[in-house]
């Protein structure tokens, strides 16, 4: 495949499609056995900012028999050029047609990228539905956070991989080789996968529905298919593959820096947060190893910034020695450190001042709810006092910009909670005038997103607000706002409603997704592309009632994702939900084990003895 | 001469897929290459230190070059051969350092000395050699060539004929070489020449159909 300069010069950013980056892997296709296309269903600059993609790329390419290449969703200008000129979707490294690969693997990061997945398959001339593929097509697989409820995409994918790539991808590659050597078919291979922990092959399960649309039964149709598919994890991160290089993009991407993954999982237990449950148990990398890895990543990339990431980096057990170790080692090399998800206290502020050689940027708090009562319901362990003290220290230290994140539509929410959002923001402004520099005025950005009940959280049974309700809540907040120092920004309610339908959807939802794609839906996560009316139309045309997916669920009904096992028990989630409604909090894992069940992966306690 | 700065002129090629990389991204690519190769680069003083690096002239996206220039300041004396090797070990395909030399005392930086540049324009195979010869001859006999330049201040009519110094037909492939004004005093872009030739040929100009390659950058005293 060779796309001409003339065609590339017709698109806005041709460099998105050329590959050729520093540290990208070159292999000869004739020398390998398995050709794997790692696909990210969003634009290059987003996909290249994603750590998981970099990990899987180097993990697969460390094998001599595998060549893993990348492919991203093409922007709409490129899609037009490709469709007009009948150019099939190609990989970045060798510009090979995706259809010629052995595997095409997608990461499912976000429900609103589902139409991009369909579009990428279609641009590659690969049949969209699994049942229509033949021996001439690649195996289509998916992984990532959305596979904890894979059902809306079940008819598209040949198999899903539930869990962390390091755990079982090698086994899958070996089985593929074995099957190929034996002259086996696609179906032979998919059957072999039934014995691999963490693999879910949707075609080997049948679903039937009740008259009200809920699930009547979900049963294997193959004797080897397990009734429960348990996720797989890397138990001890120090023992597994770790990234020593990252691909350095040639153009500016969203996160233009190297990323150091400090730990996986989260101790906090915020009841709305899917990542907080599905990535349990918490597993930390040791500080020494991280310092060594940081050096290798920076030396091999030439990046001027390193980001310490996890779900809550301040909770890392050896946070202080790690941060100081990195400062010591790289201060002279003009490397700055980015510390997302840090709690704002005196030590952290001092640290931030030290590591960021840029001027004081804005600080972020995520109270998520406007009142202490509702913060207890969602188990967000931050108090008003902590927020006001933290911002006070920051204002006194010269900061004047604060960002605040809240959610609308949380379970048990009342108008008082919504007004609380405004009141808390106003108290922060008042705090500034008490302690901050009076010559400069403060700027507080108050932003609200819409709560979406997600699979495997205590709120997975809760209702989702509909479009009108969310719009009313946004209006109520706008009305209550009086201070001019506060800027209000809010997420699109329509996007949230559609995301909610897909995140708790069953196998029927795919008809609406494919219909929406056929009607032109692409990049639905981008405000400038998302069309709410188009989506409503797609659901109507496929006779799918969206209220069915927004309603509250019963404990005894079969949830679409119940055949997946994340290690956290259903009893624990039910108990957490009860406590939520009683406004009782649950302590974080370091203080005391809360008995969620995820320690079963480790064969012992997550922390200490 | 204790205070004398150690500025090195790095000559490099930008070819193949790298022609799609814009100027700001190229700057980042060079900065990171310098960091990876652990060369003793000099940083600016101040709150937000950056490598002291200055390119002669941005190259349009879609244009290749075998004669690009960047001046970089270092803190130690470099071995030029070793520096070429270090750069080329870490550069992406399509970026290649071909020469490194230290600027002599008082030598102006590349951007300030620049006055003209030579280019090669390769035309599509549908164009005949005789057609191209005719087009060139016509251009060279014109006393003036007026084009419209659009800027923030509005459209402006400019005679570009005096900016064209050489225009010659190559034997193979169907291509021309040209030497044109380049730099802050008077500047003509190569794609304008391509467009003028296409107009004479009676075809419409589409970027990419004419393959443009910058060959060298010149100052008043010859090649930079």
In DSSP notation, A113-148 reads GHHHHHHHHHHTT--SSGGG--TTSPEEEEESGGGG
- Is A577 contained in some domain? no
Cβ contact (<8 Å) for A302 and B33? yes
- Residues of B within an 8 Å Cβ radius of A: 16-22, 24-25, 28-29, 31-36, 43, 47-49, 61-62, 90-94, 206-209, 211
Distance of CA A516 to the CA centre of its chain: 23
- Cα angle A352-A404-A338, degrees, rounded to a multiple of 5: 25
Let me know: does A159 contact A190? Beta carbons within 8 Å.
yes
For residues A182 and A306, state if they share a domain: no
The predicted model gives A473-486 an average pLDDT of 93
Q: What is the CATH number of the domain that holds A207?
A: 3.40.50.280
The predicted model gives B64-75 an average pLDDT of 97
Let me know: does A432 contact A392? Beta carbons within 8 Å.
no
Cβ contact (<8 Å) for B25 and A251? yes
Nearest CA in chain B to A5: B208
For residues A32 and A75, state if they share a domain: yes
- Is A496 contained in some domain? no
For residues A96 and A205, state if they share a domain: yes
Q: How far is CA A73 from each of CA A91, A123, A160, A481, B202, rounded to the nearest angstrom?
A: 11, 10, 20, 40, 38
For residues A114 and A165, state if they share a domain: yes
What are the φ and ψ backbone dihedral angles of A78, each rounded to 5 degrees? -70, -35
Domain residues of chain B, as ranges? 2-107, 114-223
- Tally the domains of chain A: 2
The predicted model gives A172-188 an average pLDDT of 98
Q: What count of CB pairs under 8 Å joins A to B?
A: 76
For residues A155 and A240, state if they share a domain: no
Peptide bond into A281 cis (omega under 30): yes
Q: From A324, A358, A392, give the residue that closes a domain.
A: A358
Q: Which of A362-366, A392-396, A489-493, B32-36 has the highest mean pLDDT?
A: B32-36
- Facing B17 at nearest CB: one of A9, A20, A303: A20
- Is A540 contained in some domain? no
Q: Which residues of A touch B16 (CB under 8 A)?
A: 20
In DSSP notation, A153-221 reads GTTT-SEEE-B-HHHHHHHHHHHHHHHHHTT--HHHHHHHGGGSTTEE-GGGEEEEE-TTSSEEEEEES
Cβ contact (<8 Å) for B92 and A359? no
| CA distance to partner chain A, nearest, from residue B17 (Å) | 6
Reported residue count of chain A is: 609
Judged by DSSP in three states, A439 sits in: coil
Q: Which residues of A touch B20 (CB under 8 A)?
A: 8, 14-15, 18
The predicted model gives A167-178 an average pLDDT of 98
Q: From A161, A196, A230, give the residue that closes a domain.
A: A230
pLDDT tens figures, A298-337: 999 999 999 999 999 888 999 989 988 998 888 788 888 8
pLDDT for residue A580 is more than 80 = yes
For residues A202 and A263, state if they share a domain: no
- Is A32 contained in some domain? yes
For residues A240 and A223, state if they share a domain: no
- Is A435 contained in some domain? no
Note which residues in 20-59 of chain A have CB less than 8 A from chain B. Answer: 20-22
Question: With bands split at pLDDT 50, 70 and 90, how would you rate the model's confidence at A149?
Answer: very high
Return contacts of A77-84, CB within 8 angstroms, 24+ apart: A77/A10, A77/A11, A77/A12, A78/A11, A78/A16, A78/A17, A79/A119, A79/A123, A79/A522, A81/A7, A81/A10, A81/A11, A82/A123, A83/A123
Question: With bands split at pLDDT 50, 70 and 90, how would you rate the model's confidence at B47?
Answer: confident
| CA distance to partner chain A, nearest, from residue B63 (Å) | 10
pTM of the entire predicted model: 0.95
Write the CB contacts of B199 (distance below 8 Å, at least 6 apart in sequence).
B205
Nearest CA in chain B to A245: B36
How high is the pLDDT of residue B207?
87
Helices (H), ranges, A332-396 = 346-355, 372-377, 384-396
pLDDT tens figures, A507-539: 999 999 999 999 999 999 999 999 999 999 999
- Facing A248 at nearest CB: one of B32, B49, B209: B32
Strand A443-450 with A401-408, pairing? parallel
| CA distance to partner chain B, nearest, from residue A327 (Å) | 17
For residues A197 and A76, state if they share a domain: yes
Best to test chain A binding among B25, B28, B213 (most A CBs inside 10 Å): B28
Q: In what order do the strands lie in the sheet with A258-261?
A: A258-261, A305-309, A336-338
Question: With bands split at pLDDT 50, 70 and 90, how would you rate the model's confidence at A359?
Answer: low
Question: With bands split at pLDDT 50, 70 and 90, how would you rate the model's confidence at B2?
Answer: very low
Helices (H), ranges, chain B = 23-36, 80-90, 110-113, 129-141, 190-201
How high is the pLDDT of residue B1?
45
How high is the pLDDT of residue A558?
97
pLDDT for residue A442 is more than 70 = yes
CA-atom Rg of chain B in angstroms: 19
How high is the pLDDT of residue B173?
82
How high is the pLDDT of residue A91?
97
Q: From A187, A215, A230, give the residue that closes a domain.
A: A230
Write the CB contacts of A249 (distance below 8 Å, at least 6 apart in sequence).
A21, A44, A45, A48, A256
The predicted model gives A423-444 an average pLDDT of 91
How high is the pLDDT of residue A357?
52
Cβ contact (<8 Å) for B18 and A20? yes
How high is the pLDDT of residue A348?
76
Q: What does the alpha-carbon distance between residue A142 and residue A150 come to, in Å, rounded to a whole number? A: 9
The predicted model gives A139-146 an average pLDDT of 98
Q: Please determine whether the domains at B2-107 and B114-223 fall in the same fold group of CATH.
A: yes
Q: Which of A259, A255, A263 is nearest to A287 (CA)?
A: A263
- Facing B21 at nearest CB: one of A5, A15, A357: A15
- Is A549 contained in some domain? no
What is the dotted CATH code of the domain comprising B2-107?
3.30.70.580
Q: What is the CATH number of the domain that holds A318?
A: 3.30.750.210
For residues A193 and A253, state if they share a domain: no
Cβ contact (<8 Å) for B21 and A333? no
Domain enclosing residue A313, as ranges? 234-358
Cβ contact (<8 Å) for B48 and A15? no
Q: What does the alpha-carbon distance between residue B185 and residue A86 come to, in Å, rounded to a whole number? A: 46
What is the residue whose two structure tokens read 């923030």?
B152
Nearest CA in chain A to B205: A6
Let me know: does B11 contact B97? Beta carbons within 8 Å.
yes
For residues A84 and A211, state if they share a domain: yes
Distance of CA A23 to the CA centre of its chain: 25
Cβ contact (<8 Å) for B21 and A4? no
Best to test chain A binding among B92, B93, B95, B126 (most A CBs inside 10 Å): B92
For residues A111 and A197, state if they share a domain: yes
How high is the pLDDT of residue A100?
97
CATH 3.30.310.50 is right for the domain spanning B114-223: no
| CA distance to partner chain A, nearest, from residue B125 (Å) | 14
Q: What does the alpha-carbon distance between residue A290 and residue A284 come to, in Å, rounded to a whole number? A: 10
Q: Which residues of B touch A244 (CB under 8 A)?
A: none
Question: With bands split at pLDDT 50, 70 and 90, how would you rate the model's confidence at B3?
Answer: low
Cβ of A197: how many Cβ atoms within 10 Å?
Answer: 14
pLDDT tens figures, A43-77: 999 999 999 999 999 999 999 999 999 999 999 99
Residue A2 contacts B where some CB pair is shorter than 8 Å: no
pLDDT for residue A13 is more than 90 = yes
pLDDT for residue A457 is more than 70 = yes
pLDDT tens figures, A210-254: 998 999 999 999 999 999 999 999 999 999 999 999 999 999 999
Q: Which residues of A touch B121 (CB under 8 A)?
A: none
For residues A218 and A249, state if they share a domain: no
pLDDT for residue A358 is more than 80 = no
């Amino acid at each position: 495949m060779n796309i001409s300069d003339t065609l590339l010069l017709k698109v806005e950013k041709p460099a998105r499609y050329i590959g050729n980056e520093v540290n990208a892997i070159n292999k000869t296709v004739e020398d390998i056995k398995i050709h794997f296309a790692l696909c990210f269903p969003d634009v290059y600059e987003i996909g290249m900012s994603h750590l998981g993609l970099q990990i899987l790329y180097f993990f697969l390419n460390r094998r001599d028999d595998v060549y893993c290449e990348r492919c991203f969703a093409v922007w709409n200008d490129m899609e037009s050029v490709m469709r007009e000129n009948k150019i099939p979707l190609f990989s970045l490294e060798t510009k090979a047609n995706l259809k010629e690969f052995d595997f095409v693997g997608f990461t499912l990061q976000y429900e609103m990228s589902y139409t991009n997945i369909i579009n990428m398959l279609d641009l590659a001339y690969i049949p969209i539905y699994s049942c229509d593929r033949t021996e001439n097509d690649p195996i289509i697989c998916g992984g990532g956070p959305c596979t904890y409820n894979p059902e809306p995409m079940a008819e598209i994918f040949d198999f899903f991989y539930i869990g962390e790539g390091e755990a079982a991808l090698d086994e899958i590659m070996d089985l593929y080789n074995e099957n190929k050597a034996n002259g086996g078919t696609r179906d032979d291979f998919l059957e072999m996968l039934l014995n691999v922990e963490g693999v879910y092959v949707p075609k080997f399960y049948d679903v039937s529905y009740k008259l009200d649309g809920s699930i009547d039964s979900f049963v294997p149709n193959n004797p080897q298919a397990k009734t429960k598919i348990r996720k797989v994890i890397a138990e001890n991160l120090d023992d597994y593959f770790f990234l020593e290089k990252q691909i350095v993009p040639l153009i500016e991407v969203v996160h233009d820096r190297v990323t150091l993954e400090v730990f996986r999982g989260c101790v906090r237990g915020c009841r709305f947060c899917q990542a907080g449950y599905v990535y349990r148990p918490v597993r930390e990398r040791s500080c020494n190893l991280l310092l060594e890895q940081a050096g290798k990543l920076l030396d091999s990339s030439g990046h001027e910034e390193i980001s310490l990431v996890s779900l809550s980096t301040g909770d890392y057990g050896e946070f202080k020695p790690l941060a100081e170790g990195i400062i010591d080692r790289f201060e002279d090399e003009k490397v700055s450190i980015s510390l997302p998800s840090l709690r704002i206290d005196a030590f952290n502020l001092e640290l931030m001042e030290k590591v960021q050689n840029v001027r004081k940027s804005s600080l972020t708090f995520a109270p998520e709810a406007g009142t202490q009562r509702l913060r207890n319901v969602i188990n967000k362990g931050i108090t008003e006092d902590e927020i006001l003290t933290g911002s006070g220290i920051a204002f006194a230290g010269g900061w004047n910009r604060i960002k605040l994140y809240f959610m609308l539509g949380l379970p048990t929410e009342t108008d008082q909670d919504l007004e609380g959002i405004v009141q808390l923001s106003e108290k922060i402004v008042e705090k500034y005038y008490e302690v901050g520099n009076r010559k400069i005025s403060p700027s507080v950005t108050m932003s609200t997103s819409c709560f979406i009940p997600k699979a495997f959280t205590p709120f997975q049974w809760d209702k989702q607000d509909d479009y009108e309700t969310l719009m009313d809540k946004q209006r109520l907040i706008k009305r209550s706002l009086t201070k001019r120092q506060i800027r209000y920004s809010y997420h699109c309610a329509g996007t949230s409603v559609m995301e909610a339908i897909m995140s708790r959807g069953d196998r029927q939802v795919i008809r609406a997704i494919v219909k929406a794609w056929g009607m032109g839906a692409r990049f639905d996560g981008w405000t400038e592309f998302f069309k709410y009316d188009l989506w409503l139309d797609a659901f109507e045309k496929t006779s799918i009632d969206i209220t069915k997916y927004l309603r509250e669920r019963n404990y005894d009904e079969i949830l679409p994702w119940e055949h997946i096992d994340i290690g956290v028990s259903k009893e624990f989630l039910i108990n957490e939900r009860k406590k939520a409604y009683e406004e009782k909090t649950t302590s974080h894992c370091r203080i005391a084990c809360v008995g969620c069940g995820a320690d079963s992966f480790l064969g012992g306690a997550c922390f200490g003895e | 001469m204790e205070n004398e700065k150690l500025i090195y002129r790095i000559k490099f090629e930008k070819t193949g897929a790298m022609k799609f990389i814009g100027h700001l991204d190229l700057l980042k690519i060079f900065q990171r290459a310098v960091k990876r190769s652990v060369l003793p680069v000099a940083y600016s003083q101040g709150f937000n230190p950056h490598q002291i690096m200055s390119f002669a002239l941005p190259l349009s996206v879609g244009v290749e070059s075998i004669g690009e220039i960047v001046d970089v300041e270092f803190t130690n004396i470099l071995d030029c051969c070793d520096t070429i090797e270090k750069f080329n070990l870490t550069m992406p395909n399509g970026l290649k350092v071909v020469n490194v030399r230290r600027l002599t005392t008082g030598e102006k930086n590349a951007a300030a000395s620049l006055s003209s540049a030579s280019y090669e324009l390769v035309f599509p195979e549908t164009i005949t050699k005789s057609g191209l010869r005719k087009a060139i001859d016509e251009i060279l006999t014109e006393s003036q060539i007026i084009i419209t330049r659009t800027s923030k201040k509005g459209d402006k009519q400019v005679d570009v004929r005096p900016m064209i110094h050489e225009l010659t037909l190559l034997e193979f492939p169907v291509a021309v070489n040209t030497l044109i004004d380049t730099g802050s005093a008077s500047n003509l872009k190569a794609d304008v020449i391509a467009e003028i030739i296409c107009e004479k040929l009676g075809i419409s100009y589409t970027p990419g159909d004419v393959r443009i390659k910058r060959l060298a950058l010149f100052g008043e005293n010859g090649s930079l």
